[in-house]
A and B are shown apart, each in its own frame.
Chain A
Amino acid sequence: MIIDHPLLGPRDSAEFTYLGDASLIHRPDWEAKDAISQFAEYGYQRDNPAGTHRELWFHEQGDRSWLVVTRSTTTHEITQVELARDVARREGRST
């Protein structure tokens, strides 16, 4: 596969390591009343879609960016690649 890195352009997927669902960005609030169940949900429950999937890839053999890659799990078509940091900020992880 080829991942079109937002800073470096197209790179072979062999340069990356894969983590999993991009929902891992949404780490729960540790002070919430039901924090344990929220964290259990966060840590263990994943959707496993046949189709579009947003997932985290780490450019380990490259610039060490974490990326959010939108990929079809059935065709491997990649429709979007973003820096995970940009996604995290946009999705409310800014402090």
Chain B
Amino acid sequence: MTQVNRLAGGQVDRSKELSFKFDGKSYRGYQGDTLASALLANDVRLMGRSFKYHRPRGPLTSGSEEPNAIVELRSGARQEPNTRATTAELFDGLTAKSQNRWPSLAFDALAINDRLSNFLAAGFYYKTFMWPAVFWEKLYEPIIRKAAGLGSLSLQDDPDSYDKGFRHCDLLVIGSGPSGLMAALTAARAGAEVILADEDFLLGGRLNAETYAIGDEDARDWAAATVAELGAMSNVRIMPRTTVIGAFDHGIYGALERVSDHVAVPADGKPRQILWRIYTKQTILAAGATERPIAFEQNDRPGIMLASAMRAYVNRWAATPAHTVAIFTNNDDGHRTAHDLAAKGVTVAAVIDTRADALKSEHFEVIPGATITNTQGRLGLTVIEVTLSTGQTRSISCGALGVSGGWNPNVHLASHQRGRPTWMPEISAFGPGATLPEGMHAAGAAMGQLSTHGALQSGAAQALVALKAMGKEGARPDPPEAEDAPIRITPFWHVSGAKRAWLDQQNDVTAKDVKLAHQENFRSVEHLKRYTTLGMATDQGKTSNMGGLAIMAELAGKSIPEVGTTIFRPPYTPTAIGAFAGRSAGADFRPIRKTPSHFWAEEQGAVFVEVGMWLRTQWFPRPGETHWRQSVDREVAQTRKSVGICDVTTLGKIDVQGADAATFLNKIYCNPFAKVPIGKVRYGLMLREDGIAMDDGTAARLAEDHFVVTTTTANAVGVYRHMEFVRQCLFPDLDVQLISTTEAWAQFSVAGPNARNLLRKVVDEEHDISNEAFPYMGCGEISVGGVRGRLFRISFSGELAYEIAVPTRYGDALIRKMVAAGEEFDAVVYGTEALGVMRIEKGHAAGNELNGTTTALNLGMGRMVNKKKDSIGSTLSERPGLNEKDALKLVGLKPVDPADPVPAGAHLMTKGTPVDAAHDQGYVTSACFSPNLGCHIAIGYLKSGDARMGEVIRLVSPLTGVDHDVEVVSAHFIDPEGERLRV
């Protein structure tokens, strides 16, 4: 049985026969087929099961609006669920599986839901699974999860890549039907840069599905010739297989190009899909129209489809769903389908027209004033039951039924900027509203011009409007003669009395569900949608929304425009998450910043940690060390005993230059900077304007008009942004310039009693770095092997310490040179853990303490806020609320039992008071094991902490079961007098 439903003609290439598999069975089709057209050609109408009732379903449409024929395409890692068979291009070796059925498509056990439909009506889940709460997690949810969903995922990584791209044009034409082609031609001939995008692989839109003529030519030939003319113009870019998925602000459009979906495996180096961002001055929305069905009893059997889809299958793909068909229509367009099918040799059993004044035909029987009141055929249509105008019924045998309820303009993109569609009574449908996205003009069927002649005319006319808007002149081309049939439609939405008349076939919403919603007072269209799930499936109700609205209006005794319509959001059709991610996946999710010592550290087997985008060394394990604490304790002990080196390049560095540099820093920092001598570094605390601490760091004055400011690693970007704000927006006339030099300098901390001895072997001899010449908080320009550098005598560890900087490209050489020079001192290189331990031992604040809620007062630096000058945050730092008598103060904490930990996040309570929020006394911010003290230590905030030294308080963390006593001590656990810094 090969392609028994294949007819003559069509736009398939019969010289290229393709083989494919559906549910394990092999079939043959042709190049140019979709999966749906090829299956129909092979007499397969049953392609899927519905979401809720597991009803057998076949394709309703021939395009991207398809609700039913949804399959799993491909296998293995490339398995792709919920793919529309109506748009999947056939390729040799394609495999597809039906979904949402078990054990097989023809026999699905969960079809029992269909028998239970009386209990599973709209709102069933809301009403049923409400009580008791514990049942939800244990019982309801697992059951629902098992039954829910359509396709399945491969659960493997996607082997294909997805790209993003940017394109610019004068005019974007969305859709390549008659209006789109005419618009593109008009604009291109006027010299505009045009992009013509169409979701289909064959350009021409509906022209490929019709049989009439344009001028002297077959419409399809006219389309092909026009596409060829456009393709030959250098100012035109044609993008087939490209769906414009969203209209965004200022003429920016999102478009998905399916580069490799039509082949089994993407060609080498090609992405699977590209998400384009198209910048355009003007846009023509020529997206066409979608036919809508009529709801009647049992209208969802495989073989029942839109009349226009049936016509497209027969004309374009030469595939008929059956050899005997019938048509059910409320307008003249349904008759066109009957004509085309009859001309192709398909038997048209009858055209059932709801109108008494239906057209007459010599080629087939027309039954005027009649409706379809039932159908038969379990897995595919066999019989329709017609109720005649006389009230008598009549059964007609047929294998397929084309349904035509009129056409809805595809206004989706027109309402992406919240434009409301407006009712067009002449076509009984919603068209684009008065407010379109900036620069957009609708043309052709998308604006309700349903005749070919009207489409050609409006395409040209709208292109001229667009050209004029961009200041270009265009000549109106002479559109060729084409069919210009009047629209004759008598609205007819559903056959009354039907119990199971499907509106939304994917989500199984029936006319009855809409009635139930109305009965239960869900009367706004938005409520109707959410209560019944009408239009909420993957097809977003392209074929179903109007039917629901019409029934809603009827029940409410209102007109359809009074009831109104929901509007549309991007994307126009389902878009893979992979396309939005593009290359930002896995290891490339975001950039990785590597420090200058990274490669050296890798050689040492360093353990790295992500700090923002930076990768920093966390610790350096040595042979024999089996626990990270061993490595960290060693690094700390050795630094305090002799000398340690640490890469601190990641700290932000901002170069501040200009005659007003000191004045500027006086604004930025709460403490004074005007009188910092040249060659000196000062610690600075930056406040936010609300008085909360923002960041801290140092500013080194290298010259009268030159400072180098450091920031914490985490705040480098934000501090720079803030400083530019202060400079440009608040003090626009200060003579000061800023630039971030974080990446320009490799910087290392050298700390410990032997720090100077080590540096003497590194810094060129002519620079005197003795304690006298280069005292604590000194800074200056130096050189290292002739390479310019900077030296700052600052300490984060509490030891004699320096930070040495060289241009980044010498960073790797410098770490190697210092490690070699340090051998005689048994120097150690330490990571961020040891850095953290030493700063906690010294009581220095870091990100945990500068946490966005704390002030200079909390940090114990209240007196640093200079009251004699204006600086950012100084005024609001005086707010009473930030200066309560019992304000939090930074303290040190030591366990009473040295074996106890002091975990960060634990709260502090006065002994003997209840453990609750009302009695809370503060919390631990940073904690570590101190190898120097031999116990855990911590720093944290405690109410009136500075006045409670020596008090034993209770440390509690109910979450982790911690509850023991700690002693309040100075946060300066090591060298409180700071003697080591100055030696």
Q: Which residues of A contact B (CB under 8 A)?
A: 1-2, 12, 17, 19, 24-25, 27-28, 30-31, 35-36, 39-40, 42-44, 56, 58, 60, 64-66, 75-78, 83-85, 88-89, 93-95
Contact = CB atoms under 8 A, between A and B. Distances in A.
Given A35-B875, A39-B876, A77-B438, A25 B729 contact: yes
B733 to A, nearest CB: 5
B252 A39 contact: no
Given A40-B876, A43-B876, A30 B870 contact: yes
Contacts of B878: 36
26 contacts: A2-B249, A2-B251, A2-B252, A2-B279, A24-B729, A28-B875, A30-B870, A30-B874, A31-B870, A36-B875, A36-B876, A36-B878, A36-B879, A39-B689, A39-B875, A40-B876, A43-B689, A58-B724, A58-B725, A60-B717, A65-B728, A76-B250, A78-B250, A88-B732, A89-B733, A94-B733
Contacts of B279: 2
A2 B819 CA distance: 51
A95 B250 CA distance: 38
Contacts of B250: 1-2, 76, 78
Contacts of B587: none
Interface of B: 248-252, 279, 417, 438, 689-690, 717, 721, 724-725, 728-734, 870, 874-876, 878-879
A90 B690 CA distance: 26
Contacts of B874: 30
A76 B561 CA distance: 28
A39 B251 CA distance: 40
A88 B730 CA distance: 7
B721 A60 contact: yes
Q: Top 9 nearest A-B pairs by Cβ distance?
A: A30-B870, A2-B250, A88-B732, A85-B732, A1-B249, A76-B249, A66-B728, A85-B728, A39-B875
Nearest to A93: B732
Nearest to A27: B730
A95 B726 CA distance: 13
Contacts of A88: 728-730, 732
Contacts of B734: 95
Contacts of A42: 689
Contacts of B732: 85, 88-89, 93-94
B882 to A, nearest CB: 11
Nearest to A67: B728
A31 B870 CA distance: 8
Nearest to B248: A1
A42 to B, nearest CB: 8
Contacts of B729: 24-25, 56, 66, 84-85, 88, 93
Given A58-B721, A60-B721, A76-B249, A93 B730 contact: yes
Given A39-B876, A43-B876, A95-B734, A84 B438 contact: no
Interface-central residue, A2, A39, A56, by most chain B CB under 10 Å? A39
Contacts of A2: 249-252, 279
A35 B870 CA distance: 11
B688 to A, nearest CB: 9
Contacts of B870: 30-31
Nearest to B660: A95
A36 B878 CA distance: 8
A88 B733 CA distance: 9
B629 to A, nearest CB: 40
A12 to B, nearest CB: 8
A90 to B, nearest CB: 10
Nearest to B717: A60
A40 B875 CA distance: 9
A93 B724 contact: no
Nearest to B739: A64
Nearest to A58: B721
Contact of B731 (A60, A65, A93): A93
Contact of A30 (B251, B438, B731, B875): B875
B725 A19 contact: yes
B876 A25 contact: no
Nearest to B250: A2
A24 B690 CA distance: 13
Given A1-B249, A88-B732, 8 more contacts: A2-B250, A25-B730, A35-B875, A40-B879, A58-B725, A64-B724, A77-B438, A85-B732
Nearest to A65: B728
B836 to A, nearest CB: 29
A43 B690 contact: yes
Nearest to A30: B870
Nearest to B880: A36
Contacts of A94: 732-733
A23 to B, nearest CB: 11
A89 B417 CA distance: 36
B689 A84 contact: no
A24 B732 CA distance: 14
A35 B867 CA distance: 13
